[in-house]
Copies of this chain bind each other. A is one copy, B any other.
């Protein structure tokens, strides 16, 4: 079976696709089989042309008058985001945030499967958190190879983040998802994605301040 070559899309598109997907899941649950870009746009306070442009990247074709088949669209977006196949992951830093990540039920939907956690705390090593075994840091290189882990999640404190990152890189991790509020240095070829709550909070608290200022 010829698999269509996945080409890259602009980041804004990549960030919007999960929003469409969540809406489509709701529609499917409601037994709705077809959906138009107009409807998606009005539900998400977006623009119909933008929705169509975004959908185009997934190589799906719609039908004039009726729109897109919900089931087809779901599958196309899942394939495009690579959420249809398993993405084995490890996590470094089994603290509050790390524990929450290991127990987050939605990751399975996104193909992300945690096989191992790593921590430097002796008391945690050898235990299981949400059914995932915790290992000592030095076990990482071996387990990455044995279990074909390609994604590493960093939930250690800032001051240990670069060290954890370096260990992941030297272990053979291909993509790093960083939750520590610090800029990590990675070699070319390793993909780094920062998910920093501080960025999101900055937008919210600044907007709140502007709003307060406007009502003075």
Interface residues of A (CB under 8 A from B): 5-9, 11, 14-15, 17-19, 22-23, 26, 43-44, 80-83, 87, 96-97, 99-100, 103-104, 106-107, 110-112, 150-151, 158, 174-175, 177, 181-183, 189, 191, 193-211, 213
Check B204–A175 contact: CB distance below 8 A: yes
Q: Is the CB of B177 within 8 A of A209?
A: no
- Residue on B nearest A193 in the bound complex, by CB: B204
Query: Given the complex, which residues of B lie within 8 Å of A11, measured CB to CB?
Result: 203
CB-contact partner of A22 in B8, B150, B181, B191, under 8 A? B181
Within 8 Å CB of A175, what residues of B? 204-205, 207-208
Indicate how many identical chains form the complex: 2
Q: List, in ascending order, chain B residues with CB within 8 A of A7's CB.
A: 210
CA distance A141 to B47 in the complex (A): 35
Closest B-chain residue to A9, C-beta based? B206
Q: A97 touching B104 by the CB < 8 A rule?
A: yes
Q: How far is the CA of A182 from the CA of B6 in the complex (A)?
A: 26
Contact of A82 (CB < 8 Å), options: B18, B104, B194, B206: B206
Q: How far is the CA of A204 from the CA of B208 in the complex (A)?
A: 30
Query: Does B202 lie within 8 Å of A81, measured CB to CB?
Result: yes
CA distance A170 to B104 in the complex (A): 29
Q: How far is the CA of A191 from the CA of B80 in the complex (A)?
A: 31
A196 → chain B closest CB, angstroms = 7
Given contacts A174-B208, A195-B197, A204-B193, contact A183 B81 (CB under 8 A): no
Nearest to A87 among chain B residues (CB) is B205
User: Taking CB as reference atom, which chain B residue is nearest A208?
Assistant: B175
B-chain residues with CB within 8 Å of residue A44 when the two chains form the complex: 183
